């Protein structure tokens, strides 16, 4: 058991390294391979260890995301991630990070389904339920707030394509991004960026309906300007800030 725990903890560190490499656009294949070897060996020794199953699920999620982002088929890895995380939260229902990872996994599955022309609504619902579970246990979980907001904005776009009213989801997304800004400084730039985009879409909808849109668009411009100021490399935020003015 001690060997398994040590390998699982080493794998957890490797997964953190892989996430940093992903953010800077570097290859993560070798890092993921080493993490998976450690986690698979640990799971053989302790199949009912929630920590191991959680991180094994995260490793599968990262593999799926890398494949899907590169245009490859990542469906098998995504389903394996969902299955591993389902076991993790069954073994330890209080593991908020595992619930949040479950939300990310089903969000990825939904994104892939939408890109394939399949109906993503069931996956959206599963993602939402997992984020709600995480935030019900820890309302100040910044990453879950940010990612639930992104999911809500994505669902809003899907509803617009179906001719349904996206306003409630957009308003919910704005609320989640606002709360993420309040509780977790790690996600300040992304929360400003995402809230600005959601407010921009909401303001443009209000304008098309003949409603007063200026306050919403002004708030969108302020958010996107702040995101661009904090991250000068983000030219897109500056462009959208101009569109909101």
Query: Model confidence over 132-178: pLDDT tens digits?
Result: 999 999 999 999 999 999 999 999 999 999 999 999 999 999 999 99
The Cα 105–Cα 87 span in angstroms is 14
pTM of the predicted protein model: 0.88
Neighbours of 154 (CB within 10 A): 19
Which residues are CB-neighbours of 210 under 8 A, at least 6 positions away? none
Mean pLDDT (the chain, rounded): 91
pLDDT given for residue 239 in this prediction: 56
**Residue 33's pLDDT band (cuts 50, 70, 90):** confident
The pLDDT, as a whole number, for residue 2 is: 45
Cβ neighbourhood burial of 99 (10 Å; 0-12, 13-18, 19+): buried
Distances (CA, A) of 13 to 10, 53, 143: 5, 15, 18
Rounded to an integer, what distance in angstroms lies between the CA atom of residue 149 and that of residue 175?
8
The string of pLDDT tens digits covering residues 173-215 is 999 999 999 999 999 999 999 999 999 999 999 999 999 999 9
């Amino acid at each position: 058991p001690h060997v398994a725990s040590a390998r699982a903890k080493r794998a957890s560190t490797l997964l953190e390294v892989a996430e940093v490499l992903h953010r800077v656009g570097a290859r993560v294949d070798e890092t993921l391979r080493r993490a998976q070897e450690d986690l698979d060996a640990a799971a053989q020794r302790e199949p009912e260890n929630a920590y191991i199953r959680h991180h094994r699920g995260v490793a599968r999620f990262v593999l799926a995301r890398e494949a899907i982002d590169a245009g490859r088929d990542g469906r098998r890895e995504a389903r394996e991630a969902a299955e591993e995380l389902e076991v993790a939260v069954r073994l330890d229902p209080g593991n908020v990070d595992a619930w949040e990872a479950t939300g990310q996994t089903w969000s990825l599955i939904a994104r892939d389904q939408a890109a394939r022309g399949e109906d993503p609504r069931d996956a959206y619902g599963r993602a939402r339920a997992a984020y709600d579970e995480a935030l019900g246990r820890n309302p100040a979980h910044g990453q879950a707030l940010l990612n639930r907001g992104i999911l809500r904005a994505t669902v809003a776009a899907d509803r617009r394509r179906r001719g349904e009213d996206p306003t409630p989801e957009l308003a919910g997304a704005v609320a989640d991004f606002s709360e993420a800004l309040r509780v977790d400084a790690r996600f300040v730039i992304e929360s400003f960026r995402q809230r600005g985009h959601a407010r921009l879409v909401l303001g443009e909808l209000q304008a098309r309906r003949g409603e007063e849109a200026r306050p919403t668009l002004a708030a969108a411009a302020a958010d996107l300007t702040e995101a661009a100021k904090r991250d000068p490399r983000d030219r897109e935020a500056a462009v959208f800030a101009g569109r909101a003015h």
